[in-house]
Amino acid sequence: MRIAISGAGIAGSALAFWLSRCGHQPTLIEKAPRPRTGGYLIDFWGVGYEVAERMGLAPALRDIGYPVQEVRLVDDQGRRVSGFPVAPFRRALHGRFISLPRGDLAATISRAVEGGLETIYDQSIAAIEEHDRGVRVAFTRGAPWEFDLVIGADGLHSTVRGLAFGPERQFEHALGYHVAAFEVAGYRPRDELVYVSHTRPGLQLARFALRDDRTLVFGIFADHRMNGPEPRGLDERKALLRHVFHDAGWEAPRILQAMDGVDEIYLDRVSQIRMDHWSRGRVMLIGDAAACVSLLAGEGTGLAMTEAYVLAGELHRARGDYREAFRRHEERLRAFVAGKQAAAERFAPTFVPRTPFALWRRNQALKLLALPPLANFLIGRSFQDDFALPDYGMEAG
């Protein structure tokens, strides 16, 4: 089948990989002008890691990943107040845990697609018109094309979802926070392989040292700290972050100064996408476009990979009966993904406590993760994915 995939992120690239392997003709349509590496750091583990293993990507991902050693929570003066070593997590997950920039994961997947992949950059779908034999897709530039299926893998603010299902506000479930991330060059101190984080009620600021003397800065804050509408453009984003973090203590002044020279900042609401159905006719959504779990789940990339794998597998098994494949895809994944969304929502007050007491209680609780038996028990309970990856006979390659 000729399958248009909107978005060359994690879900889109992984879907293209599996569809190519099954003999379909995927075309990736990406809004960005070129392949993007870098971006914010993600922890990658769970059932998505198993998909990466089936794709033969685990060694390459380990090469480019960062073996994080410690999560260190510090006070205003930079003194350690809590935290935990990461080794017990890695052990409990049998080493299947990697931290790496989101863009590097997507680029690694794209490069692995066999036989070359048609990717059209700087392009976006503008209209979708379904007819008896397929879908006519119009673009923001150039002539329309015919496809058999259209897959929206274009993230939290999916264009395909908007065109086929309606406005985002119907499906967005905001969790009450905003998140920001950007990279700075030459920042000091570095604390290699340590995620250093400072929390005050309602906000968290953190840094992690990357290769090539770059540092990733991560900030999250409760919406009530905002003083106006959603910022548009780089300057408004900087102004908002200066306003929110100006009295955050610790290294906030130094980080905000370093931000002055930055020319790209990720800033967005922390939201989930909740829909009754992920498909309509010949259009299907996967990844954040269908069911964003938010960064608070710590597993959005793994789920995106899993959804891509299951969709390709069900299309393979249904031998062209896309209705049957779409139905079985949802049937397999819906409860699993809903469970991850619920867990992420429950976790939010722990990640960014809103009162001094809640912050103190969180820091005390995290100290327990340094005690091996307790860490093993808690990690075992919270980090095992209750999902058996099906075998579709498309893995060998």
Ligand X SMILES: Cc1cc2nc3c(=O)[nH]c(=O)nc-3n(C[C@H](O)[C@H](O)[C@H](O)COP(=O)(O)OP(=O)(O)OC[C@H]3O[C@@H](n4cnc5c(N)ncnc54)[C@H](O)[C@@H]3O)c2cc1C
Among 3, 29, 74, 337, binds ligand X (CB under 6 A): 29
- Within residues 150-209, the interface with ligand X by CB under 6 A covers 153-155, 159, 179, 181
- Any contact of residue 251 with ligand X (CB under 6 A)? no
Among 20, 26, 27, 40, binds ligand X (CB under 6 A): 40
Q: Where are the beta strands (DSSP E) in the chain?
A: 2-6, 25-29, 41-45, 70-74, 80-85, 97-101, 118-120, 125-131, 134-139, 145-147, 149-152, 172-185, 194-200, 203-210, 214-222, 266-273, 279-280, 283-285
Both tokens of residue 59?
């060694």
Minimum Å gap between C-beta 136 and ligand X is 17
Q: Is the distance from CB of 80 to CB of 73 less than 8 angstroms? A: yes
The residues, ordered by sequence, that sit 6+ positions from 14 with a Cβ below 8 Å of its Cβ are: 51, 55, 109, 304, 305, 308, 309
- Any contact of residue 385 with ligand X (CB under 6 A)? no
- Within residues 91-130, the interface with ligand X by CB under 6 A covers 102, 124
Scanning 63-71, 243-251, 292-300, 375-383 for contacts with ligand X by CB under 6 A, the matching segment is 292-300
Minimum Å gap between C-beta 299 and ligand X is 5
| 91 three-state secondary structure | helix
Count of residues interacting with ligand X (CB under 6 A): 33
Q: Which is nearer to ligand X, 82 or 271 (CB)?
A: 271
Give the DSSP letter of residue 119: E
Distance CA 324, CA 321 (A): 6
Instruction: Count Cβ atoms below 10 Å from residue 180 Cβ, excluding itself.
Output: 23
Q: Which is nearer to ligand X, 43 or 314 (CB)?
A: 43
Scanning 209-217, 300-308, 355-363, 389-397 for contacts with ligand X by CB under 6 A, the matching segment is 300-308
Give the residues lining the site for ligand X (CB under 6 A): 6-12, 29-32, 40, 42-44, 102, 124, 153-155, 159, 179, 181, 287-289, 295, 298-302, 304
